[in-house]
Amino acid sequence: MSKYQKIYDVVRQIPYGQVATYGQVAELAGLPRQARLVGYALFRSTDNILEIPWHRVVNAKGEVSMSPVREGMDYVQRSRLEAEGIEFRSDRLSLNRHRWQPDLTQFG
């Protein structure tokens, strides 16, 4: 299984109304310290064909990572999170409140 596929498998498990950080996804995918790779994988998955809830992954500060390279998808990400009931305060969401707490026995 490719690294991207491992990342996508983890991200597909993030429940509606919850988020994970790039680093958290990397750890759960068995790719410790590869948060940047998670970002690269998700950058390629923003279309609906792969059916990956990429918008549920945020940075370690609880922010949507803004970049001109994303061509406005950062605003789409925030909009989708807000539609799921996630509230932002000063461009941050509360990781204590919204971070996904998976059953770690599911991950090898």
Please report, in angstroms and rounded to a whole number, the separation of the first and last CA atoms in the chain: 14
pLDDT in tens, 20-50: 999 999 999 999 999 999 999 998 776 666 6
The whole-chain average pLDDT of the chain stands at 91
pTM score: 0.92
Based on the structure, what is the number of domains in the chain?
Answer: 1
What percent of the chain is predicted at pLDDT more than 70? 92
Q: State which residues form the domain around 64.
A: 3-103
CA-based radius of gyration for the chain: 13
Residue 42 included in any domain? yes
CATH number of the domain within which 14 lies: 1.10.10.10
CB atoms within 10 A of CB 25: 28
pLDDT in tens, 58-77: 999 999 988 777 676 888 89
Token representation of residue 22: 């790039």
User: Does any domain span residue 108?
Assistant: no
